[in-house]
Amino acid sequence: MSLFFWASLIVLVVTSIGGITLTVVRAIGLVRTFKAFGRVAAAGTDRILNATATMEQRLQDNAPADGLARSTAELQRSLGPARVLLREIRRLRATAGGLRALVPRK
C-alpha cells in the first residue's frame, strides 16, 4: 500500500506543479497583453486628444459663426441675380416650345 500512496502523491505533486506553472505562464501572458493594450490605448488617446485640440483651435481661429453669417449674406445677394436668370431661362424655354409647336411633325 505504501507504493500506491507514494505513486499517487508523486502524481499529485507533479500535476499540481504543472497546473501552477501553466497558470503562472498564462497570467504573465495576460499581464503582457494588458500592458501592450495600455500602451496602444494611451497612444490612441493622445492622438485623439491632439486632433481634438487642433480642430478646436482651428474652429476658434476661423470663427465659424462670423463665416456663416457672411456666407448667408453672400448667398442672399447672389439669389437675386439667380432668380432673374431663372425667370429668363423659363421665358426662353416657353418661347422655344412655342416655336417648336409651329414646326410640323412627321
Range in 3-7, 34-38, 61-65 with the lowest mean pLDDT:
61-65
Q: Does 48 score more than 70 pLDDT?
A: yes
Under the banding of pLDDT at 50, 70 and 90, the label for residue 20 is: very high
Domain ranges of the chain: 1-62, 64-106
Q: Does 73 score more than 90 pLDDT?
A: no
How much is the pTM?
0.45
Q: Closest Cα to residue 18, out of 28, 30, 29, 26?
A: 26
pLDDT value at residue 78: 76
